[in-house]
Structure 1
Amino acid sequence: MIMVQFSAFLSGLTKNISSKKGKKRRINLGREATETLAKESRKNGLLLTSSGNVCAEWSSNYISAYSKGGNKGTNQDSFIVWEGFGGKEDVMLCGVFDGHGPWGHLVGKRVKKVMPAYLLHYWQEAMAQCSILMDGELCKNANFDQFGVWKNSFTKACSMVDYDLELHPVIDSFYSGTAAVTIIREGDLIVLANVGDSRAVLGTTSDDGEVIAVQLTVDCKPSLSKERERIYTSGGCVCESDDEPGVSRIRVSINEIPEGPGLALSRAFGDFFVKDSGLISEPDVIQRTLTTRDRFVILATDGVWDVVSNEKAVEIVSSSADERDESAKRLVEYAAAQWKCKRPGFAKDDISVVCIFFNNPSSSQD
């Protein structure tokens, strides 16, 4: 496995930041470097984009991933698992992407492809800016904020991802888009960036020794008060149709009369037909410091959460602990069966799950 000389890389990047070369050139160079790292990681079994498992010998993570198409046509879900992200052994990246609309499968795949490059670029740039050179080595300054660096990097990366989609010469994302939930683990810190209604749920041990569910992300939907307020402020409208009771959608509002198709998300990549009506691609970013009680995190598209509770999902994955390589598949198959029971007459959605098991977080909390 090839690991980059990180301090040397950041030192060069620090000089490049102050140069007059355009941002576009720096980002293009960053994408080329990321593609090189991705090829090497894939060759070494550290990068996964199809169903399988990742377990690096030097990592305390064990990751199981599985995806299954529904009854709506092409599977529009996709995911990525990347150990040693950016050439750093203590950094892991995972994400699930739930495309929708006529071009949703291509939008989701595009976001999966470019998100790591943009994220890595802005993270490395931020690391260079908040580091100082001591004895020929780059060291973090006294005010270094690990979560702040990742949050800022995610925010900038998501903005660039949406910009990339808007300018793409082939993929039409006007009436198509994707939700995405992405997790970074660096040491004992996990950072989650959520755009849409895919979800991250933690399995952690309670005081009495039971594994319980803790929902980490909030589903970004138009029915949420803060999301609804932004939509109306932007000139959009939130409506429910008679044939979808309880489902709120963003619609373009002209003179208080909603027009055109609606979107049941308040945050998404693409979907430019409602981008001026309150839809945003800005991620909701949260953090958690892992403890010895935290067992695993489930990332899944809404094909799971529409028919399976957080508690049931955690129960299924927890019972798979002795056979972790099958954990994601077991949850997907259970959700698929639940669609037949709970949503008769509805087409089964695409379903994707990534299970991230934490073996040895070094910090503890009572």
Structure 2
Amino acid sequence: MLKNEQPLLRDLRRLFSLSSRHLCRRIDLVRRHLQSPFFSVDVSPLLRSPFSRAGLSRFAFFSGHLQRLCLSLRRSLQVRPPGSSVENVMRSLGFGFACKKGLKPDSPNQDDFAALCCSAFRLFGVFDGHGPSGHDVSGYVHRMLFALLLTDESLNRNPQLALRNAFVATHQSVLAYAAHTERFDCSLSGSTASVVLQTQRRLFVAHVGDSRAVLARQRRDGVVAETLTVDHKPTIPAERARIEAAGGELKRLECDIPYRVFLKGRLYPGLAMSRALGDAIASHAGVSCEPDLSTVELDRSCLFVIIASDGVWEFISNQEAVNIVNEAMGSERKVRAKAAAERLALEAFKRWVEEEGNVVDDITCQIICLR
């Protein structure tokens, strides 16, 4: 065991509520990964929003320990040199984000996101919390899901399997963590998760909930939107069948628009989506943590990907979003990805105000340039 591994185990156990044996096994997995070409060099810093409830300090706790662990195991790991700004790093990666709190005075920003880039792959995710502790769940989910992916031996040879396993394990972990620590309650709280893993030739997409991912392709008649995810609504026939088979039911409450998932004969949980992470009660009503998985072969027509919470998509179509981002980036896609994300978020905010007045959902989007 390395000299400073024991404090890392203690801190990681406190963060993830895992056993020492499990964490030792995880460290062994990280060690093996870092010896393989898949984790060769130049892991860029993890990026995440400074706008979320707990701010950068909460994220720094995780990323700092992860980087210390990696540096302990392999000194050749390269981190961002001192003095280089996050903006410069994002420009070089062709990545931009925006994360804006909505107009809900009694609620913190429940959106969260993360990005991780290395020489072999890039990993991106958007997480939209819901319920009284949704902000805590989304924060926990993005940290745990990325950590599990980083230490999964199957990530290199079977990314889809690794993604699926990480989603299910994260769901189980957040339920156990909430029950064990009582730091937050996820009986009526959960999170969406939309994750895109980019390798040199492919995109691997996994998602639960209604945070959507869209691919922009160059066609003869212009740049067109291609849907990468389908919102998990309980009215989809297959989703409804699973919910009813599990003892749940769909109801539309008076003065409410969407159909929601309830335990049969009860007035809870009332979730407006059919898949999510967390949501302990809803999981007994057929709400699933199993992600939908898809793969896209990359070619010259693939321009960029948008991943965004439903605050963006409520009043903006997929094609509109692609048009807004494409126009904002122009010919300098990598350089202007951040500005394009801000432009899309601002337009989404304006649409909410126009349609709903003083009601605006939290808004988060990521722009990932593919060439």
Corresponding residue to 2:242 among 200, 220, 230: 230
Q: Structure 2 CA distance, aligned partners of 1:336 and 1:184? A: 28
Unaligned runs of at least 5 residues, structure 2: 1-19, 34-41, 51-85
State the one-letter code of the partner of 1:195: V
State the one-letter code of the partner of 1:343: E
On the 8 A contact 2:44/2:116 being kept in 1, the answer is: no
Residues 289-335 of structure 1: CA deviation (Å, up to 9, x unaligned)? 11101110000000000111111100011012233230111100100
Cα distance change on mapping 1:342 and 1:29 into 2, 3 Å: farther
Deviation at 1:117, TM superposition (A): 1.2
Deviation at 1:263, TM superposition (A): 0.2
2:270 is paired with a residue whose SS is strand
Residues 131-160 of structure 1: CA deviation (Å, up to 9, x unaligned)? xxxxxxxxxxxxxxx5xx111111111111
What is the aligned partner in structure 2 of residue 153 from structure 1? 162
Unaligned runs of at least 5 residues, structure 1: 1-20, 35-42, 128-145, 360-366
What is the aligned partner in structure 2 of residue 11 from structure 1? none
Give 1 or 2: higher strand fraction: 1
What is the aligned partner in structure 2 of residue 306 from structure 1? 314
Does residue 1:339 correspond to 2:352, yes or no?
yes
Segments of 4+ in structure 1 off by > 3 A? 21-25, 27-34, 43-46, 51-57
Deviation at 1:242, TM superposition (A): 2.1
Does residue 1:354 correspond to 2:366, yes or no?
yes
Does residue 1:218 correspond to 2:248, yes or no?
no
State the one-letter code of the partner of 1:161: T
Q: Structure 1 CA distance, aligned partners of 2:44 and 2:327? A: 26
Q: Structure 2 CA distance, aligned partners of 1:33 and 1:64? A: 31
Does residue 1:81 correspond to 2:80, yes or no?
no
On the 8 A contact 2:98/2:338 being kept in 1, the answer is: no
What is the aligned partner in structure 1 of residue 123 from structure 2? 93
Deviation at 1:352, TM superposition (A): 0.3
What is the aligned partner in structure 2 of residue 248 from structure 1? 259
Q: Pairwise mapping of residues 1-16 of structure 1 onto structure 2 (< 5 A)? A: none
What is the aligned partner in structure 1 of residue 45 from structure 2? 46
Does residue 1:65 correspond to 2:97, yes or no?
yes
Deviation at 1:44, TM superposition (A): 7.4
Q: Structure 1 CA distance, aligned partners of 2:290 and 2:88? A: 29
On the 8 A contact 1:188/1:289 being kept in 2, the answer is: yes
Deviation at 1:284, TM superposition (A): 0.5
Cα distance change on mapping 1:248 and 1:23 into 2, 3 Å: same
Q: Structure 1 CA distance, aligned partners of 2:310 and 2:149? A: 24
What is the aligned partner in structure 2 of residue 278 from structure 1? 286
Cα distance change on mapping 1:32 and 1:271 into 2, 3 Å: farther
Corresponding residue to 2:209 among 196, 205, 210: 196
What TM-score comes out, normalization by structure 2 length? 0.75
Deviation at 1:241, TM superposition (A): 1.4
Deviation at 1:163, TM superposition (A): 1.3
Q: CA RMSD in A?
A: 2.7
Q: Structure 2 CA distance, aligned partners of 1:211 and 1:104? A: 35
What is the aligned partner in structure 2 of residue 134 from structure 1? none
What is the aligned partner in structure 1 of residue 303 from structure 2? 295
What is the aligned partner in structure 2 of residue 4 from structure 1? none
Deviation at 1:90, TM superposition (A): 2.2
Q: Structure 2 CA distance, aligned partners of 1:166 and 1:54? A: 38
Deviation at 1:81, TM superposition (A): 1.1
What is the aligned partner in structure 2 of residue 184 from structure 1? 197
On the 8 A contact 2:149/2:155 being kept in 1, the answer is: no
Q: Structure 2 CA distance, aligned partners of 1:71 and 1:164? A: 31
On the 8 A contact 2:261/2:272 being kept in 1, the answer is: yes
What percent identity do the matched residue pairs reach? 32
1:318 is paired with a residue whose SS is helix
What is the aligned partner in structure 1 of residue 172 from structure 2? 163
Q: Pairwise mapping of residues 8-47 of structure 1 onto structure 2 (< 5 A)? A: 25-27=24-26, 30=29, 46-47=45-46
Does residue 1:268 correspond to 2:285, yes or no?
no
State the one-letter code of the partner of 1:317: V
2:220 is paired with a residue whose SS is coil
Q: Structure 1 CA distance, aligned partners of 2:364 and 2:160? A: 25
Q: Structure 2 CA distance, aligned partners of 1:303 and 1:266? A: 18
Does residue 1:316 correspond to 2:314, yes or no?
no
What TM-score comes out, normalization by structure 1 length? 0.76
Q: Structure 2 CA distance, aligned partners of 1:53 and 1:182? A: 22
State the one-letter code of the partner of 1:112: H
State the one-letter code of the partner of 2:361: D
Q: Pairwise mapping of residues 94-173 of structure 1 onto structure 2 (< 5 A)? A: 94-122=124-152, 124-125=153-154, 127=156, 149-168=158-177, 169=181, 170-173=183-186
Q: Structure 2 CA distance, aligned partners of 1:238 and 1:31? A: 43
Cα distance change on mapping 1:181 and 1:78 into 2, 3 Å: same
